[in-house]
A and B are shown apart, each in its own frame.
Chain A
Amino acid sequence: MNKKIKQIAVASYTNGKLDPKKVTVIANTLTRKELKAYIKELKNIERKKRVTVVSPSPLEPAEKKIIAEKFSGKQIEYKEDLSLMAGVKIIDNDIIYDLNLKNILEDLASHISRNV
């Protein structure tokens, strides 16, 4: 069942955009259980398309350009979080690029507590 739901979810897109017509037709025919799986699949697909960039202060247009080039074809969302102190954190679905001071300090702390 899961495989079919997955195929339906992929087929709900027209030219990379979620087609409202298709979605309504599909949603009407599915049972409650299937609908749950369908929504989960859609969310999965959306998550894979989105990249979140977190930084302590707004990024310069040049920096944004570099990121956009690296993640071409994906929707980029910018967020601000002061606790990072410096650097950025890029979340690409299940992969996180932790290039910030907060992470380095945390690593250092855990390294010290483990080895000293």
Chain B
Amino acid sequence: MKQSAKVIENEKLIEDIEKRLDAFGADVKTQNVGTVEKITDQVVSVSGLSKAFMGEIVYFSQGSSGVVLNLDEDNVSVILLDKGETLNEGDKIKRSEKILSINVSDAILGRIVNPEGEPLDGKPAIKKGKDMPLEKIAAGVVEREPVNTPLKTGLKAIDAIVPIGRGQRELIIGDRGLGKTAIALDTIINQKATQETKKPVYCVYVAIGQKGSTIAQVIERLRSEGAMDYTTFVVAGASDPASLQYLAPYAGAAIAEYFLEKGKDVLVVYDDLTKHAWAYRQLSLVLKRPAGREAYPGDIFYLHSRLLERAVKLNNKNGGGSITALPIIETQAGDISAYIPTNVISITDGQIFLDGGLFNSGIRPAIDVGNSVSRVGGAAQTPAIKSVAGKMRIDLAQYRELAVFAQFGSELDPATAALLERGKRTTEILKQPQYQPLPEALEVLSLWAVTSGNLDEIPVEEISRFEKEYIEYAKTHYKKLIKDLEAGSKPNEDTLKEMQKSLQQFKKVFTIK
């Protein structure tokens, strides 16, 4: 009986294949082919391919693939996705009739891929999931809602002064070596705490045109901090073709959109968009597009605006997911009025400006409070942190102004002197070592200690040690207080009393050296 069932099954299979033969001719198949005319630095000029469309993948007969980026009257310009060393003039090209996309499934978390979705970590290919297009029109206004949930970075200075919300685009800008990547990495590491909650934040780190050694360092760091499990790396390093560097951020956005469609929250770090603009400038110049200011092509603004517009907070009708973007821009000698920095500043919802002077005077993270803003993040701050950090920004600005005058050494009235002393302590408390993001409850404790005036009698040079030891003390002796603060609501009378008590008791055991 079983045998005959098998025979019938086999027959059916053969019939199916036969049907394919029978259908011969019914399924009219046309192919649109082209011929390589000219190859110049990653850009191939092709004749034929009259039916090709923008952004389409094409395959060369020797095995390379490329993307259509220019359609002219009788030729098509294709950017190569690999080095194309074996490509020759006269090689044939086939259309794929598909727009460039990347295969994404849940298995992509914890992996390192190139902008085409091919693994770079030596592990097997990403499990077949969904093909996400690299270029996609961002969600419209009806699908969005205002930013309302905080994305905690774990850095006191940012969470208190330039808070970031889920779905926001916050630019990190500064010269090389001031800790731009460090801020982004701390933020990724801090998302570990959200993985156990109902709304975990997945992370995508896009490395564009970076040195291989730097990327390896970043990956190793995240791995040792246990942040790899929820992070995907999209890597187009300095030795990769400009075409891949140009596509990398879009691939990162496509991966984020896969999770967005599932109603998840995603954080994408674009490190950095200056090099992305360089890669696109290179391609545009080889494509002979007219060059504008600083030799960038005319659509350099749209290049970044269409990418960052894909950062979104969707309303509940559309799944309620979000994509938060942290683009990074490297400035030259602190010049934020250069072409690309001004472009990206105007696109994003605020910027975190890192200052070389602050960095060198030991203030790290070197956030310039005066030049940093967050245009929408305030709405996403929890009442707890809002209540302790509300006035901090203005106080700090006042302090900076007064500090300049105080340098002249003139006699100061007691009120001014007190303000200066408070400012010094606030600056001190906002310092934070790298890779040590704090949970919100502890941030509130630290910030409240200074804003409530409790640290006024502690010498400035002892503040760091005081804070560190106080946090350890609170963790062991005031577990309930920390739990109350974790809820994120504004501290009530009892909680405030408890906070005061904890500080006073700790001061008794703290010895000033």
The interface of chain A, by Cβ under 8 A from chain B, is: 44, 86-87, 93-99, 101, 103-104, 107-108
Q: Which residue of B lies closest to A99 (CB)?
A: B25
- Residues of A contacting B20 with CB < 8 Å? 104, 108
Could you jot down 10 A-B contacts, CB within 8 Å? A87-B24, A93-B50, A94-B32, A94-B47, A95-B32, A95-B50, A97-B30, A98-B30, A99-B25, A108-B20
- Residues of B contacting A95 with CB < 8 Å? 30-33, 50-51
The verdict on A94 contacting B48 (CB below 8 Å), with A87-B24, A101-B24, A104-B24 known, is yes
At the interface, yes or no: B293 with Cβ under 8 Å from chain A? Answer: no
- Residues of A contacting B74 with CB < 8 Å? 44
At the interface, yes or no: B49 with Cβ under 8 Å from chain A? Answer: yes
The interface of chain B, by Cβ under 8 A from chain A, is: 20-21, 24-25, 28-34, 47-51, 74
Q: Which residue of B lies closest to A89 (CB)?
A: B31
A51–chain B nearest beta-carbon distance, Å: 13
User: Could you tell me the distance between the alpha carbons of A95 and B52 in the complex, rounded to whole angstroms?
Assistant: 11
Determine if B33 and A94 form an interchain contact, defined as CB atoms under 8 angstroms apart: yes
User: Could you tell me the distance between the alpha carbons of A97 and B33 in the complex, rounded to whole angstroms?
Assistant: 11
B78–chain A nearest beta-carbon distance, Å: 14
User: Could you tell me the distance between the alpha carbons of A98 and B27 in the complex, rounded to whole angstroms?
Assistant: 10
User: Which 7 pairs between the two chains have the least Cβ-Cβ distance?
Assistant: A94-B48, A96-B31, A98-B29, A97-B30, A94-B50, A94-B33, A95-B32
With beta carbons under 8 angstroms apart, the residue of A44, A103, A108 that contacts B29 is A103
- Residues of B contacting A96 with CB < 8 Å? 30-33
B340–chain A nearest beta-carbon distance, Å: 34
Q: Which residue of B lies closest to A90 (CB)?
A: B30
With beta carbons under 8 angstroms apart, the residue of B24, B25, B29, B34 that contacts A94 is B34
- Residues of A contacting B28 with CB < 8 Å? 97, 99
The verdict on A97 contacting B29 (CB below 8 Å), with A87-B24, A104-B24 known, is yes
A49–chain B nearest beta-carbon distance, Å: 15
A47–chain B nearest beta-carbon distance, Å: 9
- Residues of A contacting B34 with CB < 8 Å? 94
- Residues of B contacting A93 with CB < 8 Å? 48, 50
A9–chain B nearest beta-carbon distance, Å: 12
B161–chain A nearest beta-carbon distance, Å: 52
User: Could you tell me the distance between the alpha carbons of A52 and B239 in the complex, rounded to whole angstroms?
Assistant: 44
- Residues of A contacting B29 with CB < 8 Å? 97-99, 103, 107
User: Could you tell me the distance between the alpha carbons of A96 and B95 in the complex, rounded to whole angstroms?
Assistant: 11
User: Could you tell me the distance between the alpha carbons of A104 and B21 in the complex, rounded to whole angstroms?
Assistant: 8
- Residues of A contacting B30 with CB < 8 Å? 95-98
- Residues of B contacting A108 with CB < 8 Å? 20
- Residues of B contacting A99 with CB < 8 Å? 24-25, 28-29
Q: Which residue of A lies closest to B25 (CB)?
A: A99
> Besides A96-B32, A103-B29, 19 other CB < 8 A contacts?
A44-B47, A87-B25, A93-B50, A94-B33, A94-B34, A94-B48, A95-B30, A95-B33, A96-B30, A97-B28, A97-B29, A97-B31, A98-B29, A98-B30, A98-B31, A99-B24, A99-B28, A99-B29, A101-B24
A14–chain B nearest beta-carbon distance, Å: 23
A100–chain B nearest beta-carbon distance, Å: 9
B16–chain A nearest beta-carbon distance, Å: 12
B128–chain A nearest beta-carbon distance, Å: 9
A39–chain B nearest beta-carbon distance, Å: 14
- Residues of A contacting B51 with CB < 8 Å? 95
Q: Which residue of B lies closest to A94 (CB)?
A: B48
User: Could you tell me the distance between the alpha carbons of A107 and B25 in the complex, rounded to whole angstroms?
Assistant: 14
User: Could you tell me the distance between the alpha carbons of A96 and B34 in the complex, rounded to whole angstroms?
Assistant: 10
User: Could you tell me the distance between the alpha carbons of A101 and B21 in the complex, rounded to whole angstroms?
Assistant: 8
Q: Which residue of A lies closest to B52 (CB)?
A: A94
Q: Which residue of A lies closest to B128 (CB)?
A: A115
A88–chain B nearest beta-carbon distance, Å: 10
User: Could you tell me the distance between the alpha carbons of A103 and B50 in the complex, rounded to whole angstroms?
Assistant: 21
User: Could you tell me the distance between the alpha carbons of A101 and B24 in the complex, rounded to whole angstroms?
Assistant: 8
A95–chain B nearest beta-carbon distance, Å: 6
Q: Which residue of B lies closest to A115 (CB)?
A: B128
- Residues of A contacting B32 with CB < 8 Å? 94-96
A111–chain B nearest beta-carbon distance, Å: 10
User: Could you tell me the distance between the alpha carbons of A103 and B28 in the complex, rounded to whole angstroms?
Assistant: 11
Most chain B CB atoms below 10 A, which of A44, A96, A101:
A96
User: Could you tell me the distance between the alpha carbons of A99 and B33 in the complex, rounded to whole angstroms?
Assistant: 15
- Residues of A contacting B48 with CB < 8 Å? 93-94
User: Could you tell me the distance between the alpha carbons of A94 and B93 in the complex, rounded to whole angstroms?
Assistant: 10
- Residues of B contacting A44 with CB < 8 Å? 47, 74
User: Could you tell me the distance between the alpha carbons of A27 and B116 in the complex, rounded to whole angstroms?
Assistant: 48
- Residues of B contacting A94 with CB < 8 Å? 32-34, 47-50
- Residues of B contacting A87 with CB < 8 Å? 24-25
User: Could you tell me the distance between the alpha carbons of A97 and B49 in the complex, rounded to whole angstroms?
Assistant: 14
- Residues of A contacting B31 with CB < 8 Å? 95-98
User: Could you tell me the distance between the alpha carbons of A107 and B301 in the complex, rounded to whole angstroms?
Assistant: 42
Q: Which residue of A lies closest to B50 (CB)?
A: A94
- Residues of B contacting A97 with CB < 8 Å? 28-31
User: Could you tell me the distance between the alpha carbons of A108 and B23 in the complex, rounded to whole angstroms?
Assistant: 13
User: Could you tell me the distance between the alpha carbons of A104 and B25 in the complex, rounded to whole angstroms?
Assistant: 10
User: Could you tell me the distance between the alpha carbons of A86 and B22 in the complex, rounded to whole angstroms?
Assistant: 12
User: Could you tell me the distance between the alpha carbons of A18 and B25 in the complex, rounded to whole angstroms?
Assistant: 37
